[in-house]
Amino acid sequence: MKKSLLVLTVITLCVSFFLYANSANSHGSPANAEEKQTELGSSDNGKDVHESSGNGKERNIELRAKRYSFSPSVITVNKGDRINIKLISMDVTHGFFLDGYGTEVTVPPGDWKKFTIEADKTGRFTFRCSSTCGEFHPYMVGYLRVLPNWNYYSGIFLIVILGIGSLILTLTGKGSPRDKLFWVIPLSWRFELTKFKLVRALFKSRWFPFIALLINIWVFTIILLAAFVGGFSSAGNYNFGIMMVWILWWVLLMLFMVPFIGRFWCMVCPFPLFGDWFQRGKLISVGRQKSRGLNKRWPTKGRNLWPLVILFFISTWFSGFFTVRPFATFIFLSIIIGSATIIALIYGKRTFCLFVCPVSGFQGLYANFSACEIRVKNPDICKKHKPKTCFVGNEKGYGCPWMELPYDMNSNTNCGMCLECFKTCPHDNMAFNLRPFGTDFMSARNPADELYQRRGTDEAFKALTMIGIFLVFYFAFQGTSGQFKDMLRATTLGGYFTYIAGYTLVNFLVIPAVFFLFAFLSKKLSGDNGVKLKEVFVNFSYCLVTVGVAVWGAFSIGIILPNGSYLLHIFSDPFAWGWDLFGTADFPWTPFLTGATSYLQIFVIIIGLLFSLEYGFKFSLQTYSTPAEAKRGWIPMLIFLIGIHIFFIWLFVG
Amino acid sequence: MAEVTLIILQGFILMKKHHKTMVITMTVAVFVSAIYFVILYHNIYKIPDTLEKEEILPVFSVDQNITLSFNNNIWDNIKPVSVRLSPQSARTAFGKYEKKITVRGIYNKEDIAFLIEYEDATESRGGLADPDYCAILFVPANSPASAQMMGFESIGNIWRWSALRDAKKIAIIREFVVHGPTTQKPMENQNVLGQGIYSKGGWKVLFIRKRVKQQKDDFEFMPTKKFKIAFAVWDGEKLETFSRKSISILRALTLE
Amino acid sequence: MRKQEIFAVLLVIIFPIAIVWGAFSYQSSLKQANTVQLIAQAPEKGNFSPQTIKIKKGKEVTLVIRNVDVTSHGFVVPLLGIRVKEIKAGELEKVTFTIDEEGKYPFYCSVWCSDYHLQMKGTLIVE
């Protein structure tokens, strides 16, 4: 208890500092946009800085907007400055909207508008184009940094304090015990949702999750139709397909589904439906247990995450296309549905879901972090039960389509939550549990243990590449470099291939090499000569799972808050045909709570840090032979984690 | 260091392990991606036939000297080209939507000249209303399409005639170098001569310059160098200034 | 279970077809008599489509201009003084008019929408 009190005190201190620093901001008057068209366009060249009356300087900035960036893309001023912006459009109509301040201005092509901003709030605020100017319009942004950037400093301060605090606690042996999370939550805590009769009845019905799948089929029909009629160059933000898949679904996946309910999407995913139907001969009732078709078995050498690492990575090469062009999404989704069906004809059961579906890789790995699981309640019942109907199936349901052994399952990685095992178990021995975050990381490591869970370089590289992919997505969709976006969109072939080459190198060489260096330092410092370096590398890479969950979550916040309002439009006018089904078609673009983006992102990153510190040391204890070695070996890794979290804070709010 | 290479290569070795399925899957994946990319690239970046073929503005060779006078008959045999102008930003309802100007271009060994004629209801030379202006934009022929906007993402030369300066007979035509909207900078030396007269409800404006390159940013009008040309007109009566103007499409300029 | 199976199959097959069919029929039901659909795209993506619109003289016509592009477009028929306010990307505007004189009237895009904006035009033919 004393330790938890200590931790609580530290956290309270940090939070109070944070709040105090931010209360130093006067919440000044909102939108201060005066449009002035001057009669003489004589040159205000660049940034003139004059003294002005009042407590800040006058800053004059010529802000040039072109597709898809601003120049200068980052403006840094001090609190109290008066920023006079001359917004010039270099090609088509552009606009300017400042998060947190609410200023909104539109400028016609080749024209300019002057307006003033009183920089009375500190922090980093994104300004974005507010008039649809092209397909990458939602991602045309720049940053206004008003110093001193208290959010940024507090974020770094928090990270350093938490890191040092955590280090001191672990080194003095007062760290969180092996079987507890944050000193208080037992890793073995479970709350069984299926103990409620209604829930269990639902899970045992053959209509569940089929009914959710059905609704998804209908929604995807609309998505595919909208993406199809959208063509290559209709506005993505007004297209049902683009908005639902790349804004709504992606954000829900990264912010809610994966962190909290693991592979929930796989439960309701409509893509394997046709494959399943063909293999089983029946849609909802129980047909053949053995898949129709060639029913091959995916080769052993490929029964790992490597195919998924590569396939997901390759699909992200096209992120500059399918996220903004409806027909590109149509082709992409069709390829996935097509492959799902074709693979189901050749291979048995959910081979596609396990080894080919691009989304499956990170869902499986990140589901280890989630707060839900499906496990047996009482393993003794399973020991006496023959045959194992959860694996071979019976008249009530199919044998695990994910080719897992439900009676023996100890991690979420390959469980697609299809709920067949609930239906086939005659003893109702399967349970859907709520649990503490990340308990799967601790699954038994000794191959001799009953619940041994393999760890391998494939999963390590999945965790690593997800970070690299995040970085590229960040620069593409929330970054300010127009040149980078041009390369991503293949405005020139040379630029595109340079981008692909660099992207691949960073993901498969640079980032793993950096991580490898720290793993190497960890082993050296620990003094443990018996442990394999590969084991150190792989074990610690699971810290990057919690980091990944956090940064992708923070990224999603930055996507949904500015662009979520388009959803109201597309519900009323899904195909951009001029409909108004629910009366919301005229709902204007309304960024929502964008002033809070920085706070939310810092919060999520700090949560990620706490988990990665917590589990990181537990990994250290698992890897090294003695606690003393584990403590020493932990230090380089802790430094690495602190370092990358500072980097992420800089990226998001610095 | 052997450990370093080993682990990083381990990933690639696993992939290269000669297994039919993995090789086939990866080949199919790369193949499908390549096709996907080709479809996307082709559809996004192709320029369809609905785009007009470039109209050409021919500049004709003459033997005589080119002077600032409107009275000589040097222009009589030159076929005029009709150029359509439309407003750059038609949000503010100003002026007549469409304007038509006629352009004649001539050159001799030393000089190149343009005669622009167009209708204008009022002769505005400053005062209560804004003055009338007329301008020519040149960009190199290999500039990207964005150069339509005052040479954006390229470089441009603008020769601008001002009715107000014309009345004062000082610096009648100003020469600028541009790199896009609002980037105009007057050239060090102002080498374009010209004048304008208002008669019968319209302007006649003459621009003359030496063909050779005379300073850092200006253009040289030789047969080897290809350019595109565009025109702009401001009707001062309607308070047209800066971006409120009528402009033409960029078209190829050829020395016949 | 058989009945349920059939029911499930029907739901999977019929609803998607119904959705697609419903979308298209709702869309055509919106087309009233005397309306003409015009699609506005930047010239390098297709220009106005169709390029020529034929209407009868003396008859009232509603032109529905749909912007399927990613930048704003406009519509103006200078010789007839018809103009439509800025049509933002993904939206549409309607304009109703009656023309009594035969002839060919060019129409243009009135909002700078692309590097080739000045080529964005079509012809309205009244006969």
The CATH number covering residue C115 comes to 2.60.40.420
Specify the pLDDT at position A445: 67
Q: Which helix (H) or strand (E) holds C13?
A: helix C2-30
Are A472 and A304 in contact by the 8 Å Cβ rule? The answer is no
Residues A86-102: what's their mean pLDDT? Answer: 92
Question: Which has more confidence, A48 or A370?
Answer: A370
Higher per-residue pLDDT: C86 or B161: B161
Rounded to whole angstroms, what are the CA distances from A84 to A43, A114, A118?
A: 14, 7, 9
B182 CA: distance to closest CA in chain C (Å):
17
* Domain tally, chain C: 2
pLDDT confidence band for A313 (50 / 70 / 90): very high
Chain C interface, best mutation among B43, B44, B46, B50, by max C CB count within 10 A: B50
Q: Which residues share a beta bridge with B107?
A: B61, B112
- Together in a domain, C25 and C71: no
Distance from CA of C97 to the nearest CA of B (A): 19
Indicate the residue type of B37: F
Question: The domain containing residue C101 runs over which residues?
Answer: 33-126
Query: Pick the residue with more confidence: B130 or A129?
Result: A129
Task: Count the neighbouring beta carbons within 10 Å of the beta carbon of residue C104.
Answer: 11
Residue B204: CA atoms inside 13 Å, Cβ hemisphere, count? 12
- Mean pLDDT across B174-188: 92
Say if residue C52 is in the same domain as residue C108: yes
> Mean pLDDT over residues A540-551, rounded?
95
Q: Cα angle at B246 between B244 and B248, to 5 degrees?
A: 140
Query: Residue B50 — very low, low, confident or very high, per pLDDT cuts 50/70/90?
Result: low
Average pLDDT over residues A368-377: 94
C65 and C82 housed in the same domain: yes
Here the ipTM equals 0.91
Our CA-based measurement puts residue B43 at a distance from the nearest CA of chain C, in whole angstroms, of: 9
Domain boundaries, chain B: 2-45, 56-255
Q: In which band, very low, low, confident or very high, does the pLDDT at B10 lie, cut at 50, 70 and 90?
A: low
How far apart are alpha carbons B16 and B23 in whole angstroms? 8
Verify that C22 and C41 share a domain, yes or no.
no
pLDDT digits (tens, 9 = 90+) for A572-620: 999 888 888 998 888 889 899 888 999 999 999 999 999 999 999 999 9
Same domain (yes/no): C21, C75 = no
Judge whether residue A27 has pLDDT over 50.
no
Mean pLDDT along residues B52-73: 83
Cα separation, A571 vs A564, whole angstroms: 12
pLDDT tens profile A204-246: 999 999 999 999 999 999 999 999 998 888 888 889 999 999 9
pLDDT-derived band at B239, boundaries 50, 70, 90: confident
Q: Is B67 helix (H, G, I), strand (E, B) or coil?
A: coil
Looking at the fold, whether C37 and C19 belong to one and the same domain comes out as no
- Kindly list the distances between the CA atom of residue A337 and the CA atoms of A242, A275, A327, A484, A538, in Å, as whole numbers in the listed order: 17, 9, 15, 31, 33
**Same structural domain for residues C60 and C79?**
yes
Whole-angstrom distance, CA of residue A148 vs CA of residue A157 = 14
Q: Identify the three-state secondary structure at position A3.
A: helix
User: CB-CB: which of B7, B22, B242 is closest to A302?
Assistant: B22
Distance CA A310, CA A503 (A): 13
Taking phi first (over 0 means left), then psi (-120 to 50 degrees means alpha), and beta for anything else, what does residue A262 get? left
> Looking at residues A248-258, what average pLDDT do you find?
95
| Inter-chain CB proximity C91 and A108 less than 8 Å | no
Would you say residue B136 has pLDDT above 90? yes
Of A114, A74, A125, A280, which Cα lies nearest the Cα of A591? A125
Cβ-defined contact of B3 to A461 (cutoff 8 Å): no
Show me where the domains of chain A are located. Answer: 48-148, 152-188+455-653, 207-366, 373-437
Architecture of domain A48-148: Sandwich (2.60)
A residues 274-313 near B, CB within 8 Å? Answer: 298-299, 301-302, 304, 306-307, 310-311
Topology of B56-255 in CATH? Immunoglobulin-like (2.60.40)
Name the average pLDDT for chain B.
Answer: 84
H or E segment and range at residue A430: strand A430-434
Model confidence band, residue A453 (pLDDT cutoffs 50, 70, 90): confident
Q: Do A301 and B22 touch (CB under 8 A)?
A: yes
Q: Residue C103: in which H helix or E strand, if any?
A: strand C103-108
Burial zone of B137 (CB within 10 Å; 0-12 exposed, 13-18 middle, 19+ buried): buried
Do A533 and B3 make contact, defined as CB atoms within 8 angstroms? yes
**Mean pLDDT to the nearest integer, A381-393:** 91
Q: What are the angstrom distances between the C-alpha of A514 and each of A125, A499, B4?
A: 31, 20, 11
Helix (H, G, I), strand (E, B) or coil at A13: helix
Asked if C52 and C65 sit in the same domain, the reply is: yes
Q: Report the neighbours of B using a cutoff of 3 or more CB pairs below 8 angstroms.
A: A, C
C-alpha distances out from residue B87 to A109, A133, A253, A259, B159, Å: 11, 19, 47, 54, 19
Best of B86, B96, B148 to disrupt the C interface (most C CBs within 10 Å) is B86
Query: Does the CB of C20 have a partner CB in chain A at under 8 Å?
Result: yes
For residues A148 and A259, what is the distance between their CA atoms, to the nearest angstrom? Answer: 33
The alpha carbon of residue B85 is apart from the nearest alpha carbon of chain C, in Å, by: 8
Distance from C-alpha of B256 to C-alpha of B58, rounded to nearest angstrom: 6
pLDDT higher than 50, residue A82:
yes
| DSSP H/E element including A539 | helix A533-541
Token digits for A250? 């992606």
CATH architecture of A373-437: 2-Layer Sandwich (3.30)
Note the pLDDT of residue B203. Answer: 93
Residues C22, C37 within the same domain:
no
d(CA C53, CA A233): 24
pLDDT for residue A36: 25
d(CA A72, CA A85): 11
Residues 40-99 of C with CB under 8 A from A: 41, 45, 64, 66, 68-72, 88-92
pLDDT at A43: 32
- B113 confidence band (pLDDT: 50, 70, 90): very high
What integer pLDDT is reported at residue A237 of this predicted model? 87
- Asked whether the beta carbons of A234 and A326 are under 8 A apart, the reply is yes
- Structure tokens of A313? 């990575």
What is residue A108's three-state secondary structure? coil
**What are the residues of chain B with a beta carbon less than 8 Å away from any beta carbon of chain A?**
3-4, 7-8, 10-11, 14-15, 17, 19-22, 25-26, 29-30, 32-33, 36-37, 39-41, 43-45, 88-89, 91, 146, 149-150, 152, 180-182, 185, 241-243
Contact A461 B44 (CB under 8 A): no
Establish if A211 touches chain C: CB-CB under 8 angstroms: no
Q: Mean per-residue pLDDT for A349-361?
A: 92
Separation CA B18–CA B169 (nearest Å)? 84
Which one of A44, A89, A309 would you mutate to disrupt binding with B, by most B Cβ within 10 Å of its Cβ?
A89
Q: Are residues C86 and C114 in the same domain?
A: yes
What's at C61, amino acid-wise?
V
Q: Are residues C83 and C49 in the same domain?
A: yes
Mean pLDDT of A299-324: 90
Could you say which DSSP state residue B152 is in? T
Cis peptide before B181 (omega within 30 of 0): no
Confidence of residue A29 (pLDDT cuts 50, 70, 90): very low
The predicted structure's pLDDT at residue A2: 53
Q: How far apart are CA A91 and CA A68, in angstroms?
A: 10
pLDDT bucket at A40, cuts 50 / 70 / 90: very low
d(CA A261, CA A249): 14
What's the whole-number average pLDDT of chain A?
A: 88
User: Are B48 and C118 an interchain contact pair (Cβ–Cβ within 8 Å)?
Assistant: no
Whether the Cβ atoms of residue A244 and residue A223 lie closer than 8 Å to each other? yes
Q: What is the pLDDT of residues C8-65, one digit of tens each?
A: 999 999 999 999 999 999 988 887 777 888 999 888 888 898 899 999 888 889 999 9
